[in-house]
Amino acid sequence: MSSHVRGCCAALLAALLLTAAAPARADEADGEAVFARAAEALTAGEFGKAIDDLEHLADRGFVHPDASYDRGVAYVMRVRGGAERPGDLGRAAAGFEEALLLRPNDADAQQGLDLVRAEITRRRSRRASDSVDVRPTLDRALVRLADEQTWGWLALGASLLLAAGLILRRAPRGPARITGSVLWPTAAAAVAIFLPLCIGARHLRLHTRPGVVVVSEAWLASEPAGGARGVGVPEGALLETSERRGNEIRVRHGSNAGWLPAGSVRLLGPPS
């Protein structure tokens, strides 16, 4: 192959790459412009316009914690402005939850979420609605003690310690051999604990997605269509969604699992 041909191929490849990257940059710039417009409307008190813009951003897949936060603020402003629509508090909670999902240390989002939840609780108490106890199952409680990366690194470290213990165990009699004899079963147990937790966390990351109830109260059904109505889930509650079947989505709220209409749940964050 001559150098001339190789140069042409390289130029063609570069052109293809540029062509593919240009729309992405344009979308990103457009998204920032829409966010700026929404933030301006929000500052001016035009929360309806801000909500439209922010929802448009979300529909286009624009993901940013500040956009999610402003979306929550916009819904809160609509509630405060007296133009509340059913589910606004849940949508506000969804915005703040998404902001926290993307940026876990966002104090403003956490405060907004607390306020929204408190208002929902107060409204439920005014309606004499029963409080909903959310108790996660043991597996999820354990898996969510740390994130997947943490479990992975812990499992890897335990694996290395296991190897070191196995090596030291073969050393001549002495401290090294004692260390190895203690280390390798401990490390093996740690691997046996951390590895399933890592696998479970990965499974949840890949097969579930958080969501928030955006209706005043959703009732879990045992079957996707026409199942018996079960436990109620309050507005703004954080759910774990998994399988989707038609217009129904399987969710888990604490230890309760069931099916909800997909429209009553807002999924958070980008899909994994």
Instruction: State the residues that interact with other proteins by CB under 8 A.
Output: 32, 35-36, 39-40, 42-47, 50, 63-67, 69-70, 73-74, 76-77, 79-83, 102-103, 108, 111-112, 115-116, 118-119, 121-126, 131, 133, 148-149, 152-153, 155-156, 159-160, 162-164, 166-167, 170, 191, 195, 198, 202, 270
Strands 209-213 and 265-267: antiparallel
224, HSE (Cβ side, Cα atoms, 13 Å): 10
* Closer CB to other proteins, 66 or 217, in the complex: 66
For the sheet with 229-234, list strands across it. Answer: 229-234, 217-221, 256-261, 248-253, 238-245, 209-213, 265-267
* Closer CB to other proteins, 60 or 245, in the complex: 60
* Closer CB to other proteins, 93 or 260, in the complex: 93
Asked if 231 and 220 count as a contact pair (C-beta separation under 8 A), the reply is yes
Q: In whole angstroms, how close is the CB of 272 to other proteins at the nearest point?
A: 9
Q: In whole angstroms, how close is the CB of 41 to other proteins at the nearest point?
A: 9
Asked if 219 and 233 count as a contact pair (C-beta separation under 8 A), the reply is yes
* Closer CB to other proteins, 32 or 244, in the complex: 32
Cα distance between residue 47 and residue 67, in whole Å: 14
Q: In whole angstroms, how close is the CB of 245 to other proteins at the nearest point?
A: 27
Name the nearest CA neighbour of 179 among 191, 197, 161: 161
* Closer CB to other proteins, 28 or 243, in the complex: 28
Name the nearest CA neighbour of 271 among 103, 148, 101: 101
Q: In whole angstroms, how close is the CB of 181 to other proteins at the nearest point?
A: 14
Q: In whole angstroms, how close is the CB of 167 to other proteins at the nearest point?
A: 6
